[in-house]
Amino acid sequence: MLFCTTSSGVDRLEVIDLSITTLVLLALVAFVASLTSTVTGMGGGMLLFAAMNTVIPLRPLVALHGIVQFGNNLIRIYFLLTSIRWRIVIPFCVGALVGTIACVIVVEQLVNESIPLFILLILITYTVFKPKKLPNLVIKDCNFLYVGVATGIIGILVGAIDPLLAVFFVRDDFSKEEIVANKSAMQCFTHLLKIPAYMYLGFSFLDHLEIILLLLAACAAGNYLGIKMLQKINKQLFFLLLKLVLLIAGIRLSYQLVMSIS
């Protein structure tokens, strides 16, 4: 049994009990996932989710993965705080809040899941395969407000915010560190918005504190080593790795789109 009903009528998720061996393996995956996200700019979240999905049921998994990713991005922000451009992060956060509220109230009932997936695939395809003569998706700082709105909506509908953010950071006027830091700040805020929803749905973070702290410790180590590696690789290799992970995400989203239509 994965959840029980409390006296208030709200389902409360039961505590996940994992063996020591499983916890160690998940910690190793969390380390590698965090390292991957720091060096390539994305991809670690998908890797960690896939690994956790093999041993944790989906309903508590979404909440547990969300809080770990929130903490993981928060740790990365700490390491790269001086690289954050607040003039793009703040408008994004405002937009993400608006998009999340709008999706919960209105959009979720009107928009089919396949529509945002299709739009996201178009953006990924353009970013990865566009000819050199065509421009990157470079937008003004204030327009990250609209990226935030889109992220808030898509994050609720399909959960795939990492690829959406990445397509707007394949640009020459950002350093490697700025790309990783600002993406992490934006993802951190979007995960923060979901925490009250997890608590309302009956997930107890205190009951899972040991698992969360273990995975966050592994993430911290992965972030630390990843930043050391990020500082040593050149920008051309960084963008190549970012586009490669974007391509993998695109393939995964294509499968998700086909499944949502069929």
The pLDDT, as a whole number, for residue 31 is 96
What pLDDT band is residue 202 in, cutting at 50, 70 and 90?
confident
Domain tally for the chain? 1
pLDDT in tens, 164-189: 888 899 888 899 999 999 999 999 99
pLDDT at 10 over 70: no
In percent, how much of the chain has pLDDT > 70? 86
Contacts for 155 with CB less than 8 Å, ≥ 6 apart: 96, 99, 100, 103, 161, 190, 193, 194
pLDDT at 207 over 60: yes
Phi, psi (rounded to 5 degrees) for 10 = -95, 130
How buried is 261 (Cβ within 10 angstroms: 0-12 exposed, 13-18 middle, 19+ buried)? exposed
pLDDT in tens, 48-64: 888 888 888 767 777 88
Q: Are 155 and 190 in contact (CB under 8 A)?
A: yes
pLDDT in tens, 75-112: 999 999 999 999 999 999 999 999 888 877 775 555 56
Domain extent for 241: 3-261
